Structure formats: C-alpha cells, structure tokens
Amino acid sequence: MSTDAPDLSGFTGTVTFLGAGNMGGAVLGRLLAAGLPPEHARVTDLADRTRARWEEQGVSTGTDNPEAVRGASVVVLAVKPYLVADVLDEIADELGGDSIVVSLAAGVTLATLESHAGDGVPVVRVMPNTPALVGEGMFVVTAGRDCTAEQLEVVDTLLRACGQTEVVPESQQNAASGLSGSGPAYIFYVADALAEGGVHEGLPRDLAVRLAAQTILGAARMLVESDEPASTLREQVTSPGGSTAVALRLLDEGAVRYRMSAAVSAATRRAGELGA
C-alpha cells in the first residue's frame, strides 16, 4: 500500500476526465490541489454547471470525448458503469499504447475495458470511494494485461493525491467495492444512529453530531496506527460489567455484526451485477 502524498506540480502528461460528477470531480479536485497544472487537465461533461466549475480553475472542458482524449497520457472513465463500453467505443480510435485508460466504474471488468479500448491499450480498473474528497480515499487497483509497471506507477502516483492505494487481483475487486466502495455509506449510517442516540439521551443535536464524528475519526485513526486488530481494541474499551459491555451485548442481540457483514456481501453481489 502506498501512503505518501505526491507533488504533481512536475507532472508533464495530460489527464482527461470523461465525466466529472461526484467521484470524477473529487479525484480531479484533489489532483489540482496536489499541484497538477490546470493546463494538463481536461474534462468532458454534458452539464454546463459542471464545465463552468472547472473552467474557473483553468481546466479545458468540452463535450467531445474523442477530441478530449486525443494525445492524453491518462484517460479517466468517471461515467456510470452501463455507459463505459459505449464511451470506450466512441474514443477507441484516439487511444494507443501510450494512453492509460483508468476506469472508476464499479463492476466493469478488465475484459470489458480491454475489448472496447482496443488491442494494446493499457487499462487499469479502480474501485474508489468518496473520502477522496478530503484526501482520505481508498483506491483498490488492478492493472490489465497491457499495462506496464511504469504505467501502473503513473496511475498510483495520481491516485495517492486522493488517499491510499492497494493493488489486488481482479477476483477481489467486487469484494473491495462491497467493503470500501460502499463502506462510507455504512459509516455515515452508524454516525447518524450514534448521534440520534445522543439526542434521545438529552444531548443537543449539533453536539451529538460532533461527538459521533470525532469518535469515528479517532477510532479509525487508532485502527490505522495500531498494530492491534479491531477485536483487541474493542476489548480494551470494554470493562467487564461496564456500560460498553452492556451496549455491545445489545448490538449482538440485534445481530448488528452479522448484518454489517451481510451488507458487504450484498453490495459485493450487486457490484458484479452492475459490471454484467
């Protein structure tokens, strides 16, 4: 896993984003914040408001996908999964061995990317998540057969401007989607429930929200920085017969642990369906 944030001010290639909605926009915003020169970025999007946002930052925009990818060193597909094949068919004539195609679309396989991008075009399948907005994204990466180690390193460098990266075999991609891709929604769900509990017990809502958010942030930092597994860290907080023990017993009676695990499995299956 790569952890160091790069300085992109010296990046000499051109990065084209086909689509700049929530995920594509988050990644592009972090690239610019990491120093990517705006003149080295291009965006195509059908929404006037989206294009205006990037034009204000000096990024070239438009609606013509083939024109936008012409000469680009990295092409980021940030469109809905069902649009990926059509978009690749549209731009295939402009791609070559020097253009790295990076897909952020859940479930879309390397086989699909390679068959529509064309022979010899290097492709990389990536499962991102929304904390990329604040530079704490998790990007699970799989390179296609024509992607060299040097080209994969280019992609890794760009993504590290937005968070952390992990390279995995493609067989693990859908599970990564179910866990880290959908995972922020699970945490927001928990945060909302914690805050609601605090309000029920008399805390002002704004205070309850802050307590829940900081508690989750602090616990996550402990997980990242500690060598101990989550189960051990949980035990360290749980005194025998104490309030935490009572709370955890209630969660176990409600099968919350099982339901969280089952949620990851359900999201994993759905990621595979989206790719199909």
Distance CA 21, CA 50 (A): 8
Domain membership of residue 231 (yes or no) is: yes
Domain membership of residue 117 (yes or no) is: yes
CA-to-CA dists, residue 117 to 36, 94, 102, angstroms: 26, 10, 11
Q: Residue 76 sits in a domain of what CATH number?
A: 3.40.50.720
How much is the pLDDT for 249? 95
Same domain, 116 and 139: yes
Distance CA 83, CA 65 (A): 13
Does pLDDT of 273 surpass 80? yes
pLDDT digits (tens, 9 = 90+) for 17-61: 999 888 999 999 999 999 999 999 999 987 888 889 999 999 999
Same domain, 37 and 147: yes
Same domain, 111 and 225: no
How much is the pLDDT for 197? 97
Span 224-229, average pLDDT: 93
Same domain, 72 and 122: yes
pLDDT digits (tens, 9 = 90+) for 58-105: 999 999 999 999 999 999 999 998 999 999 999 999 998 789 999 999
Domain membership of residue 1 (yes or no) is: no
Query: Of 129, 149, 172, which closes a domain?
Result: 172
- pTM, full prediction: 0.89
Range of the domain at 226: 183-275
Same domain, 143 and 263: no
Same domain, 19 and 149: yes
Does pLDDT of 1 surpass 60? no
pLDDT digits (tens, 9 = 90+) for 107-162: 899 999 999 999 999 999 999 999 999 999 999 999 999 999 999 999 999 999 99
Q: What are the respective helix, strand and coil percentages of the chain, to the nearest 5?
A: 55, 15, 30
Strand locations in the chain (E)? 15-18, 41-44, 60-62, 74-77, 100-103, 123-127, 137-143, 163-167
pLDDT digits (tens, 9 = 90+) for 233-271: 999 999 999 999 999 999 999 999 999 999 999 999 998
Cβ atoms of residues 77 and 84 within 8 Å: yes
Q: Give residues with Cβ within 8 angstroms of 126, minimum separation 6.
A: 102, 103, 104, 139, 140, 141, 142, 155, 159
Same domain, 64 and 151: yes
What are the φ and ψ backbone dihedral angles of 90, each rounded to 5 degrees?
Answer: -65, -35
Q: Give residues with Cβ within 8 angstroms of 236, minimum separation 6.
A: 228
Same domain, 74 and 146: yes
Does pLDDT of 215 surpass 80? yes
Same domain, 209 and 83: no
Does pLDDT of 3 surpass 70? no
Does pLDDT of 167 surpass 90? yes
Same domain, 55 and 162: yes
Distance CA 252, CA 36 (A): 48
